[in-house]
C-alpha cells in the first residue's frame, strides 16, 4: 500500500465494522495533527506507544470485509496488536436495550458502531485536560499548538501529511510555564498535565482495571474531575458506561433528543440510569445520529487575555 512499512496486518472483524466512524472517536478536532485522512480515504495516526512512537495507517476494504493496517516506527508492532481494540472489538453490547424510541432509531441507523479503546491513558488525558472549561475552538487550537511545538514528526512516509506524535511525558514535564501560555494553555490546565506526566507510568497501567477503579484513581489527580475522567475512560478504555457529566452540551442535547427539553446534569443522570452499564452509549449514539439540539445563535467566543491572543481574531 505504501513504501517500506515496518509491519503490516490484515484483520477481519466478526461484524460489519464501520472502521472509519469508530476511528474518528480518537480525533481531537478536524485539525488534529496526530490524525489525518488522505485523499484515498485511509486513516493515519501518530501514536506514542510504550515501545516508542509509531505511525498507523488503516485502510478499510469493504469488498472483502477486511481492515488492512500498516505501521512504522519503534511502536509499530504495538499499534498493530492494538488495531482490533481500537476498532471496537473489545466493546460488548450484550445487555444494551435501546428502550426509548429515539434511541431505538439511533441504534437502527448505527447497529454496528462500537466504542474503540486506544489503551493509552496519557494520550487521552492530555487533550481532555486541555478541553476543560473552554470553547471547543480554543481547546482544539491549544492541543494543536502543543503538539506542533513540542511533539515530534511521526515516523514513516508521512512528511506530506505533516503527521505528528504527542509530546512524551518527559517533554511535558520540562515545558516551562511561559511556554504553556504561548500555546494558550493556562496554569489551571497546564499544571494538572505536568503533574499527570510525572505519574505517566502508573497511569498507563489503569487500562486493565475495573472502570470504577479507573475513575477513582483518575479523579484523585489534581485538576481531574468527573468530566475529564469520563473522557479518558471513553477514549482509552472504551468504557461504555462513562458519561461526560459537566459538559456544556451533552445533558442539553440528550434531553432535547429524548424529551424535547434540555436536561441539566442531575436530570441526565436520572434519565440514563436504566441503561447502566451502557449509559455512555446513549449520548454517543444520539451524537452519531445527529439528534441533539439545533444550534442557534453565535458561538461562545474564545478568551483573549492569553499571550498571542488578539481581540477580534480567532
Given this model, what pLDDT does residue 265 score?
Answer: 96
Reading across the β-sheet that carries 66-72, which strands appear in turn?
7-11, 66-72, 52-61, 43-49, 35-37
CB atoms within 10 A of CB 124: 23
- Reported in sequence order, the residue ranges of the chain that DSSP labels E, i.e. its strands, are 7-11, 35-37, 43-49, 52-61, 66-72, 152-153, 164-165
The answer to whether 225 and 211 have CB atoms below 8 angstroms apart is no
DSSP state at residue 40 = T
CA geometry: angle at 236 spanning 283 and 50, to 5°?
165
For residue 250, give the C-alpha cell.
451533552
Instruction: Identify the burial level of 215 via C-beta atoms within 10 angstroms of its C-beta, where 0-12 means exposed, 13-18 middle and 19 or more buried.
Output: buried
Q: What is the pLDDT of residues 205-220, one digit of tens each?
A: 999 999 999 999 999 9
pLDDT tens digit sequence for 91-146: 999 999 998 999 999 999 999 999 999 999 999 999 999 999 888 889 899 999 99
User: How much is the pTM?
Assistant: 0.90
Listed range (28-37, 192-201, 291-300) with the worst mean pLDDT: 291-300
Q: What is the pLDDT of residue 4?
A: 54
- pLDDT, tens digit, for every residue of 33-79? 999 999 999 999 999 999 999 999 999 877 678 999 999 999 999 99
Amino acid at each position: 500500500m505504501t513504501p517500506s512499512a515496518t509491519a503490516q496486518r490484515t484483520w477481519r472483524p466478526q461484524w460489519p465494522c464501520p472502521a472509519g466512524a469508530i476511528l474518528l472517536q480518537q480525533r481531537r478536532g478536524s485539525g488534529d495533527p496526530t490524525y489525518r485522512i488522505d485523499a484515498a480515504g485511509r486513516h493515519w495516526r501518530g501514536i506514542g506507544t510504550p515501545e516508542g512512537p509509531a505511525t498507523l495507517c488503516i485502510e478499510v476494504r469493504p469488498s472483502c470485509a477486511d481492515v488492512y493496517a500498516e505501521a512504522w516506527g519503534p511502536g509499530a508492532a504495538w499499534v498493530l496488536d492494538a488495531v482490533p481494540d481500537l476498532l471496537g472489538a473489545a466493546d460488548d453490547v450484550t445487555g444494551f436495550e435501546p428502550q426509548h424510541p429515539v434511541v431505538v432509531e439511533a441504534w437502527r441507523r448505527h447497529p454496528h458502531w462500537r466504542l474503540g479503546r486506544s489503551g493509552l491513558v496519557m494520550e487521552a488525558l492530555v487533550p481532555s485536560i486541555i478541553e476543560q472549561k473552554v470553547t471547543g475552538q480554543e481547546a482544539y487550537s491549544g492541543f494543536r499548538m502543543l503538539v506542533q511545538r513540542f511533539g515530534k514528526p511521526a515516523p514513516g512516509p508521512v512528511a506530506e501529511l505533516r503527521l505528528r506524535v504527542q509530546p512524551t511525558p518527559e517533554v511535558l514535564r520540562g515545558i516551562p510555564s511561559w511556554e504553556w501560555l504561548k500555546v494558550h494553555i493556562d496554569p489551571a490546565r497546564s499544571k494538572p498535565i505536568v503533574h499527570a506526566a510525572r505519574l505517566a507510568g502508573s497511569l498507563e497501567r489503569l487500562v486493565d482495571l475495573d472502570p470504577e477503579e479507573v475513575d477513582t484513581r483518575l479523579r484523585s489527580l489534581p485538576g481531574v474531575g468527573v468530566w475529564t475522567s469520563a473522557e479518558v475512560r471513553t477514549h482509552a478504555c472504551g468504557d461504555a458506561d462513562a458519561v461526560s457529566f459537566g459538559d456544556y452540551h451533552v445533558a442539553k442535547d440528550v434531553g432535547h433528543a429524548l424529551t424535547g427539553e434540555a436536561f441539566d446534569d442531575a436530570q441526565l443522570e436520572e434519565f440514563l440510569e436504566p441503561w447502566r452499564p451502557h449509559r455512555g452509549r446513549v449520548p454517543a449514539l444520539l451524537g452519531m445520529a445527529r439528534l441533539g439540539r439545533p444550534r442557534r445563535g453565535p458561538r461562545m467566543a474564545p478568551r483573549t487575555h492569553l499571550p498571542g491572543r488578539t481581540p477580534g481574531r480567532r
